[in-house]
Amino acid sequence: MIDILNDCDFFQEQIATLLVQCDTLNQQAEQALKKIEQESSEKAINGQEVKRVPKFFTPKIVSSAMIIASSLLLLTFGSWKIREQNLSLTQERSAYAKFKSAQKLGMEAAYLVQKPLHPLKVWQQAQNKWYQAIDLLDTIPHETSVDDRAKKKLAYYQINYKFISQRVLIEEKALENLESAQKLAAEANLFVQNSSHSQLSRQQAQDKWQQAINLLEAIPESTFVSVQAKEMLPIYKTNYAAISQI
């Protein structure tokens, strides 16, 4: 197939040269005819015998050249059609491959988030897979056979991506609250240990325990870290009560 296309390119380049040569031959033939006619006229005037010169050779040359040129044009047109078909076939295969890859990513994303609770990392992995699937579907050309199915999948995947993205934000906030509460608890213990139970240190420790408790209570039960927050909350409340009694 490649050899045929290369040959077609070569023939296409020869068309222009052949047409120029045809035009040159035609001009030369016309000049020769004019010269012969002029000589014949002069001989007729001088009373010399004039031989009739056949005029068929010029059309014959031009006709042969035009036949060759027409054949080359047909061959060139054929090469264009072959290229167009190959391009269409390549585009179709690429579109189908993208569609199947997007489907695979969507199935993997859906499988990841089955039966929550899941840690933030899992939600982020699912979010990334939905994003990749959407990107693939969005690049499928409209003129391909999978375009209609790709549009339906795209709308469905965009809904899933939006839901997952919201869930990622909730999990991120919950994890942030948990880590902040742990940091406040450590600071509260440090105030008590290093300040010899002074009035100011006790007050600062009490404030930090209260802030930590508020953060833990703000963590939604639907999040992965809510289990850990529930385990920490009674301990923090006990420490808060103990420092408040001193």
Q: DSSP string spanning 74-97?
A: HHHHHHHHHHHHHHHHHHHHHHHH
The residue type found at 205 is A
How many Cβ atoms from other residues are within 10 Å of residue 229's Cβ? 21
Q: Please state the pTM of the whole predicted model.
A: 0.64
Strand blocks (E) in the chain:
none
Q: How far apart are the first and last CA of the chain?
A: 92
Query: Residues 104-156: pLDDT tens digits?
Result: 999 999 999 998 899 999 999 999 999 999 999 999 998 899 999 999 999 99
238: part of which helix (H) or strand (E)? helix 226-245
Collect all residues with Cβ–Cβ distance below 8 Å to 66 and sequence separation of at least 6.
22
Query: Residues 147-191: pLDDT tens digits?
Result: 999 999 999 999 999 999 999 999 999 999 999 999 999 999 888
CA 39 to CA 43: how far, in whole Å? 6
